[in-house]
């Protein structure tokens, strides 16, 4: 059986998360939840704060949840939405910055011709 290299798994996970963020409305929803903190918000409050409501909000929450970026839990008669994983979001930004400047040409390394 062929194992998928860890780098490929990481790339696939990152691509899925970034694809889920490929909408201004989904970014707005996620930012609203990040601002609310780990306790999250009732879905009605999330809609009021983000300006996205009804089936549109439900659709965006489903995509963000499938990417592991948000979660929804039922508390009594309420649905509480929250940013699912701050470490996951941190890993998205670290993924982008992990090799920052690795291929940059530094001025002191440019061929000095004596």
Reference 71, options 28, 38, 35; nearest CA is 38
Answer whether residue 111 shows pLDDT above 60: no
- The pLDDT assigned to 79 comes to 93
Answer whether residue 93 shows pLDDT above 90: no
Per-residue pLDDT tens over the stretch 50-89: 999 999 999 999 999 998 899 999 999 999 999 987 777 7
Q: Model's pTM, two decimal places?
A: 0.75
Q: What CA–CA distance (Å, rounded) separates 58 from 23?
A: 14
Domains contained in the chain, CATH given: 26-96 (1.10.10.10)
Q: Which residue has the tokens 């809609």?
A: 47
Answer whether residue 8 shows pLDDT above 80: no
């Amino acid at each position: 059986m062929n194992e998928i290299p860890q780098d490929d798994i990481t790339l696939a996970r990152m691509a899925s998360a970034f694809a889920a963020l490929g909408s201004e409305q989904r970014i707005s929803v996620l930012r609203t939840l990040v601002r609310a903190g780990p306790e999250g918000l009732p879905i009605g409050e999330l809609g009021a704060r983000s300006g996205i409501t009804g089936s549109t909000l439900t659709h965006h929450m489903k995509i963000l949840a499938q990417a592991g970026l948000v979660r929804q839990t039922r508390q009594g008669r309420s649905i509480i939405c929250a940013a699912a994983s701050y470490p996951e979001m941190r890993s998205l930004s670290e993924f982008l910055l992990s090799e920052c400047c690795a291929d940059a040409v530094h001025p002191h390394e440019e061929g000095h011709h004596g």
